[in-house]
Amino acid sequence: MSNFIGRKEETALLHALLQSPKSEFVAVYGRRRVGKTFLIRTVFENRFDFQLTGQARSNLKQQLLNFQDALQSVDPGEGNKPPKSWFETFGKLRRWVDP
């Protein structure tokens, strides 16, 4: 695994979550271009059932469309109607994760 400068605490936390016997939800946020996505993909070795990376300067409608597109890529039967709110969005994700 790559060595991250100043990321020991974050790497340890992510490894602990990876070893957890239960489902975990991680939201990573911060300034652009500081390696958030690289850190996550490296620690988790690209083992994802679903992933979505937000877009800078996108409005709510665009973000929800991006979510719908990502969900359709892992579940083609999902349909193409985008959610109208983040509440509805996470409901779709919950139903997909735990049918």
For the stretch 12-56, pLDDT in tens is 999 999 999 998 888 888 888 888 889 998 998 888 888 888 888
Model pTM above 0.75: no
pLDDT recorded at residue 51: 86
pLDDT recorded at residue 82: 87
Give one word for 90, left, alpha or beta, with left for phi > 0 and alpha for psi -120 to 50: alpha
Q: What number of other Cβ atoms are within 10 A of residue 67's Cβ? A: 21
CA distance 19 to 44: 11
Structure tokens at 57: 């300067």
Report DSSP state, residue 3: -
Q: Is the pLDDT of residue 99 over 80?
A: no
Q: Is the pLDDT of residue 83 over 80?
A: yes
